[in-house]
């Protein structure tokens, strides 16, 4: 039975992320193989939120909160993957370098969130040392924040080499759409940073200020940094994906051949 504000919030999120999942599947299909990585992690993020909120309706255990909390890593990896999709529509795309960067960033973010999950699960176990559990969460969230900073650097570097709509022109419409998608990614960053920074603060305060705990904190904590920040970020990604849904069907960036350049004179 739905009685508490937290349960009502969970039900609302189930509806929101069910819709996001359907739109994410649409974007996964429309964006083609270049977009599979990013939209796969977006769908993984939606699935984690659906699972966590579904569990929280009928249970107040920390397991539901842990599942929901690790969703931020999937959101960061979705942003990373979508930026990687954008980079494929630039003239400077280098496959080996790009994949080396992507794999390294995946390892950093994934390692951080694994530490957070282990620390969170141990924290709810009376047999475990709470201070050691807190240290794991602190280290994990700092690693996630470091990973987000590195991902931000990758996003900025990709944005700088993407041609604008005027530069790309009609013959290279996919490059212009990639710029639009990259702009959507940039717009998600303030919300993702707010969520991660809250995670860092809560990890350091979880033993002294339980109200900030992502597991059993106040409703405001669950509503604003835990829910709304991620909903806004996911919404921006979905809208950006829909606006650029035809990116795979348009011509990618290709340097003009010398004979075509001469024809302009």
pLDDT tens-digit readout, 161-217: 887 654 545 445 678 889 999 999 999 999 999 999 999 999 999 888 888 887 777
Calpha distance 231→192 (Å, rounded): 10
Query: pLDDT digit string (tens) for 223-258?
Result: 898 899 999 999 999 999 999 998 887 654 444 443
CATH class of 5-254: mainly alpha
pTM: 0.89
Residues 217, 2 contacting (CB under 8 angstroms): no
Angstrom distance (rounded) from CA 40 to CA 74: 9
CB proximity list for 45: less than 8 A, separation 6 or greater: 71, 74, 75, 78, 230, 234
Radius of gyration of the chain (CA): 20
């Amino acid at each position: 039975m739905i009685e508490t504000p937290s349960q009502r919030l969970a039900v609302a999120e189930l509806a929101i992320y069910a819709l996001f999942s359907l739109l994410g599947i649409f974007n996964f299909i429309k964006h083609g193989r270049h977009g599979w990585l990013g939209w796969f992690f977006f769908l993984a993020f939606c699935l984690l939120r659906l699972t966590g909120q579904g569990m929280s309706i009928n249970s107040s255990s920390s397991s539901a909160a842990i599942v929901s909390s690790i969703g931020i890593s999937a959101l960061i990896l979705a942003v990373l993957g979508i930026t990687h999709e954008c980079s494929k529509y630039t003239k400077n795309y280098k496959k080996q370098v790009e994949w080396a960067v992507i794999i390294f960033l995946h390892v950093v973010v994934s390692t951080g969130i694994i530490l957070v999950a282990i620390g969170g699960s141990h924290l709810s176990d009376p047999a475990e040392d709470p201070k050691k559990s807190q240290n794991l969460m602190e280290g994990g969230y700092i690693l996630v924040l470091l990973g987000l900073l590195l991902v931000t650097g990758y996003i900025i570097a990709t944005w700088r080499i993407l041609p604008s709509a005027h530069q790309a022109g009609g013959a290279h419409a996919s490059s212009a759409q990639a710029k639009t998608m990259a702009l959507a990614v940039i717009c998600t960053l303030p919300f993702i940073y707010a969520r991660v920074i809250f995670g860092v603060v809560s990890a350091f305060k979880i033993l002294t200020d339980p109200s900030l705990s992502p597991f059993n904190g106040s409703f405001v904590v669950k509503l604003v940094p835990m829910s709304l920040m991620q909903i806004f970020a996911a919404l921006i990604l979905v809208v950006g994906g829909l606006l650029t849904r035809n990116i795979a069907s348009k011509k990618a960036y290709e340097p003009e051949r010398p004979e075509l350049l001469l024809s302009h004179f």
